[in-house]
Amino acid sequence: MTDRRNLIAVALGEAPADLVLRGGTVVSTATGELVRADVIVAGSRIAAVGDAADALITGDTVVIDATGRFIAPGLIDPHTHLESNNLTVTELARAIVPRGVLSICEDPHEIANVLGRPGVDLLVDEASALPLNVYLRVPGRVPAMPAHLETSGHEMSVETTRELLARPDAVCLGGDINPALLLQSDDDQLAKIDACIALGKTVGGQLPGFVGRVLNATIAAGIEDTHVAESVDEIAEQLRRGVRVLLTPRIDRLPAEEWPLIAQAVRRLALDIRYLCLCTDDIHPNVLLAEGHLDERVRLAVRSGFTPVEAIQMATINPASLMRLDRDLGVVAPGRLADLVVLDDLATFAVSSVVHHGVVVARNGALVNEPRAFPYPTWATQTMHLAAPVIAADLALRAPASAAVPTSVTVSVVEFGGPKTRRTAELAVRDGVVVPDVGQDVLSIAVLERHRASGRIGRGFVGGLGIRGGAVACSVNHDSHNIFVVGDSHESMAIAANAIADAGGGYVAVVGTEVRAIVELPIAGLMSERPLAEVGAALAAVERVVIDELHCSITYRPMYALNFLCLPNIPEAGFTDMGIIDTTTMELVPTLVP
């Protein structure tokens, strides 16, 4: 409980402060101003913001000289999947808290699909000892697809979802689901939304390309935010409908180079930015290492034409308001938690020191105190359950048996892009096997069920990747995280799939028959216990091989792109251990075209 009597006494000058940030300029996210003021802290909360700090300083008061510096609220990430950082929560905190990120709203549906509710509890338990506020975006649907369309490791019932929403650290119902479920008035999903609203919490969503009637319908269903906007016009229409638009640069929609168009539209249309937020969603360790986290989104917004104060508002008070956390976070003001960032420079968000709950936790780019290692149990690190080692024949799609074996067949190809689409291709048949054709940019793909050792494998073809001379495999495969492998040779693909299984999960690039680079992710097949520098360097090495030796046509963050290659939640096609999924109708599509 907050000691409000002490807060009142300190604010009135009748009791000493525990911490004083003296001589700085406060970033007033509530008004958009820069105000010269001291910040006075009692316990874990701010008691006062003003100029009378000296009288409250005793020998026990910690004093931070903020002269010439700026004092801002700690950054709040309103939508992230920390498992996609491929790091433990401890290692993530070590990386992002010194950057000024003090709160994340985590949707753990990645680990929930593998380990169920116990996996969610693992992340929360680990976070409890860290100087990082981890709030739950309760997974909206686990598994994402019905069992006849995809095999997942676990299921979360409506009742389990209600129980998680009732937790004090839960702020939101996550919305990373197929929007078709809402347009079709799915009973379970509407029940979850009603439960969330009854608890006074936020309903998340995703509205890819949604305008007009479908936009109105999904908002009417209860959706309050979206993180997958595809155009500036779409952003404007969604803002006008009262949706909070969460911005993060993507490969296939609104990449960083298009962000100036967003800032220009805000000025041209005189849009209020209160409903614009910055988020990270998925950020790989090599990118985190090289560029940063939510702090880099702030810098990107500034480079794109937003003022530094606007950019900070979009990463503090705006997400705090969205998640109904603004009573505690998002503004430097009395009564709020003392989660503060001292900046040497506003435009570059150059962090000098970080305060969490009234305690200095980071200085000069590093945590003050080294966090304790969190032990992961064996059941969380042994999750690769294949029926048997993989051989090339397991991954090959065979032509239909008949008296006259065809020399070629027509197949449906999932084409990577934004959105993913389908096309057809004519492929040769050799010894009864339908073979990929790099000349047509058609690769073989296989998705191997890895949760139940069923031996089920979805086989088919993908385009738009340009890979030749080997294979790429991964166990980070949204949302059910079965192993996927793509390549121009079934032999190479088998080697890659077995390497992933043997490593307990991860990323691998195979050139010919040689494993050229690998990242081991043994925690649920999603995360590593190794330091950020090691994991980031290993993933960068995989991507170099994929680009330079396997000639992938996706030259920016190819493994991030491939994480979404199979996803059956986003338009217009996905691929699972059952085969091709039409994401609009949520039905299986035959690979062989009659």
Looking at the structure, tell me whether residues 190 and 87 fall in a common domain: yes
| Per-residue pLDDT at 303 exceeds 80 | yes
Pair 211, 218: CB distance under 8 Å: no
Residues 450 and 576 in one domain: yes
Is pLDDT at 294 greater than 80 in this prediction?
yes
Read off the pLDDT band of 533 (50, 70, 90). Answer: very high
Report the number of secondary-structure helices (H) and strands (E) in the chain.
19, 32
Question: Where does residue 431 fall: left (phi above 0), alpha (psi -120 to 50 degrees), or beta otherwise?
Answer: left
Element (H, E) at 289: helix 285-290
pLDDT tens-place string over residues 261-279: 999 999 999 999 999 999 9
User: Per-residue pLDDT for 109 more than 90?
Assistant: yes
Query: What local confidence, expressed as pLDDT, does residue 262 receive?
Result: 98
Q: Is residue 83 a contact partner of residue 38, using CB atoms and an 8 Å limit?
A: no
Residue 403's pLDDT is what?
64
Residue 421 maps to a domain: yes
Average pLDDT over residues 445-452: 98
CATH number at residue 358: 2.30.40.10
Residue 84: inside a domain:
yes
Helix axes 532-548, 89-96, angle to 10 degrees: 90
Residue 363 confidence (pLDDT) above 90: yes
Name, in order, each residue with C-beta under 8 angstroms of 464's C-beta and a sequence gap of 6 or more: 415, 416, 417, 441, 553
The confidence score (pLDDT) of residue 2 equals 76
Domain membership flag for residue 113: yes
As a whole number of angstroms, the distance between CA 462 and CA 470 comes to: 15
**How far apart, in whole angstroms, are the C-alpha atoms of residue 193 and residue 447?**
32
d(CA 37, CA 573): 54
Residues 135 and 57 in one domain: no
Whole-number mean pLDDT of the chain? 96
Q: Tell me the mean pLDDT in the region 487-512.
A: 98
Average pLDDT over residues 77-86: 97
Domain identity same for 62 and 82: no
| Beta-bridge mates of residue 485 | 446, 473
Residue 385 is assigned to a structural domain of this protein: yes
The 10s digit of each residue's pLDDT in 30-57 is 999 999 999 999 999 999 999 877 889 9
227 in a domain, yes or no?
A: yes
Q: How many CB atoms lie within 10 A of CB 338?
A: 24
At 398-440, the pLDDT tens digits run: 998 876 778 999 999 999 987 899 999 999 999 999 999 999 9
Per-residue pLDDT band for 72 (boundaries 50, 70, 90) equals very high
Tell me: do 63 and 195 sit in the same domain. no
Which tokens is 312 given? 């900070």
193 & 128 share domain: yes
Domain identity same for 469 and 401: yes
Q: Is residue 82 part of a domain?
A: yes
Identify whether residues 265 and 389 lie together within a single domain: no
Q: What is the CATH number of the domain that holds 205?
A: 3.20.20.140
Token pair, residue 303, equals 């480079």
Position 592 pLDDT exceeds 70: yes
Output b/e per residue, 367-393; b: 16+ Cβ within 10 A: beeebeebebeeebbebbebeeebeee
Residues 311 and 351 in one domain: no
Residue ranges making up the domain that contains 116:
72-331
Does residue 594 belong to any structural domain of this protein? no
Q: How many separate domains does the chain show?
A: 3
Instruction: Report which secondary-structure segment, H or E, holds 248.
Output: none
Are residues 296 and 351 both part of a single domain?
Answer: no
Instruction: Give a yes or no: residue 373 inside a domain.
Output: no
Question: What is the per-residue pLDDT for 229?
Answer: 92
Same domain, 318 and 344: no
Looking at the structure, tell me whether residues 325 and 342 fall in a common domain: no
Q: Would you state the pLDDT for residue 451?
A: 98
Q: What percent of the chain is predicted at pLDDT more than 70?
A: 100
Which token pair is 282? 């998925």
Confidence of residue 28 (pLDDT cuts 50, 70, 90): very high
Average pLDDT over residues 69-74: 98
